[in-house]
Amino acid sequence: MRTAPAPEPVTHGRILRIAGPVVLANATVPLLGAVDTGVIGQLGDAAMLGAVGVGAVVLASFYWIFGFLRMGTTGFVAQARGADDRAEVSAHLARALLIGGAAGLVLIAGQGLLWRAAFAIAPASAAVEGHARIYLGIRIWAAPATICLYAVTGWLIAMERTRGVLVLQLVMNGVNVGLDLWFVLGLGWGVAGVASASFIAEWGGLALGLFLCRDAFAGGWWRDRARVLAGPALRRLAAVNGDIMLRSVLLQGAFTTFVFLGAGQGDVTLAANQVLMQFLEISAYALDGFAFAAEAMVGAALGAGSRAHLRRAAGLSSLWGAGGAVAVSLAFLAFGPWLVDLLTTAPEVRARARDFLPWLVAAPVVGVASWMLDGVFIGATWTREMRVAMLWSVAVYALALVVLVAAFGNHGLWASLLLLFVVRAATLWARYPRLEGAVGAAPA
């Protein structure tokens, strides 16, 4: 029986090699939406501007459902890599690409129903809906590419090739921005130009992503139908992905509830919350790199059967995550009022956002443990435990909302959100010893 080679040492340098490019890649994510908005905004047509915003949100909502492909692929591939199972490293990518391609085709086939449902839930004016349908009708044909890119990204992270993730993001965004300018301002295509730029960038991104993953196709294992479609592997894949999807739906529901309850506090408070949440999202993006490092290294350690490497991977990546969280919190403490003023000119919104700024300062430090433990459990593909932990966390969050919002208003809303982070961390931490104990002792 072949034994896995000794795991790669878990070092500070290894963590930074994985995390650094991810942080830079994530920093480019908000840029593309801003460029799309800015370019179409030059046409001076409010309906077109609204249509691009609505269309982007609709697509993001549908694509978000398949985010489990990124996380599941990272965990499975990292474990196969740690076990030096090159055939499964390849087969896992092939399975994920099959799921992504099939999901994209289903969205294309059902687009009529999807758009009707979307505009029934969020009605828009006739002009906005008309332009949005043009936008959606073009971009939906890139659905297979967009969803498959989750799998490609997950594979690259698992293989610790996050420079490839950065290159992929920069090239896609660069192509998209360049074509935006040409199609909209040069050729006058309007909304169709923005959509066409994204369509080309997404398919081009998939082509580049597959090139970056070319090692997975070199051995021919991806063509081994019996291996790729093996029943046990597919059942495990379905279980893990199902757990991740349910966990993500619960988490998204918690954030959506936060927004809706904030709206009940009045328009000014809602706007202030929205401003502060933008910075909370940025902090999560900034710290994602360390969580991704945990995914890759924990998965590899588990695949190699090394308890000591798993413990060190979880601990050292979390140490970096905690340091990053403290740095982000200090930045919010020092520059928070200026950042708020950067996003809004309304005096009443600025004043209200300052009232709740201390919650934003605390959020990265309070939330980082839950984000890092997510990375640890994703790398180990202990997703059932993640699902159960999230169920308990959301239940406590819901109870806190009932009690604290009634008593303290928007302060209670923010306190409930931070409590969600704490309970997520506590419930996962309670399960961590079992995870570690399930891994064989490390070689001396």
d(CA 306, CA 6): 9
Residues 68, 244 contacting (CB under 8 angstroms): yes
In order of 103, 226, 296, 297, the CA distances from 212 in angstroms are: 22, 25, 17, 20
Phi-psi region of 29 (alpha: psi -120 to 50; beta: other; left: phi over 0): alpha
d(CA 78, CA 310): 12
Q: What is the mean pLDDT of residues 192-208?
A: 94
Residue carrying structure tokens 């202030």:
272
pLDDT band for position 197 (cuts 50, 70, 90)? very high
The gap between the terminal CA atoms of the chain, to the nearest Å, is: 20
Check residue 98 and give its pLDDT.
94
**Kindly report the CA angle at 65 between 61 and 68, in degrees rounded to 5?**
140
Give the tens place of pLDDT for each residue, 355-391: 999 999 999 999 999 999 999 999 999 999 999 999 9
Q: Residues with Cβ < 8 Å from 38, sequence gap 6 or more?
A: none
**Mean pLDDT (the chain, rounded):** 88
pLDDT band for position 151 (cuts 50, 70, 90)? very high
The percentage of residues in the chain with a pLDDT greater than 90, rounded to a whole number, is: 57
Q: Quick one: CA dihedral 165, 171, 176, 181, positive or negative?
A: positive
d(CA 145, CA 326): 37
Q: Does residue 44 have a pLDDT over 80? A: no
Check residue 31 and give its pLDDT.
64
Tokens of 283: 């902090």
pLDDT band for position 110 (cuts 50, 70, 90)? very high
Q: What is the mean pLDDT of residues 143-150?
A: 96
Q: Which of 164-168, 262-266, 302-306, 433-437 is predicted with the least confidence, judged by mean pLDDT?
A: 262-266
Check residue 207 and give its pLDDT.
97
Please give the radius of gyration of the chain, using alpha carbons only, rounded to the nearest integer.
Answer: 22
pLDDT band for position 117 (cuts 50, 70, 90)? confident
Q: Does residue 166 have a pLDDT over 90? A: yes
Q: Does residue 76 have a pLDDT over 80? A: yes
Q: Does residue 342 have a pLDDT over 60? A: yes
Check residue 11 and give its pLDDT.
92
Check residue 206 and give its pLDDT.
97
**Kindly report the CA angle at 432 between 428 and 435, in degrees rounded to 5?**
125
Helices (H), 223-346: 225-228, 231-263, 267-304, 307-343
Closest to 82 (Cα-Cα) out of 10, 166, 163: 10
Q: Which long-range contacts (CB under 8 A, 24 or more apart) does 340-349 make?
A: 340/275, 340/276, 343/275, 343/278, 344/271, 344/275, 346/268, 346/271, 348/268, 349/268, 349/271, 349/272, 349/275
Give the tens place of pLDDT for each residue, 236-288: 989 998 999 999 889 888 888 887 888 788 878 888 888 888 788 878 888 88
Give the tens place of pLDDT for each residue, 387-443: 999 999 999 999 999 999 999 999 999 999 999 999 999 999 999 999 999 886 444
pLDDT band for position 319 (cuts 50, 70, 90)? very high
Check residue 424 and give its pLDDT.
95
Comparison of pLDDT for 291 and 32, the residue scoring more = 291
The percentage of residues in the chain with a pLDDT greater than 70, rounded to a whole number, is: 95
State the amino acid at position 387 in one-letter form.
Answer: R
Comparison of pLDDT for 1 and 227, the residue scoring more = 227
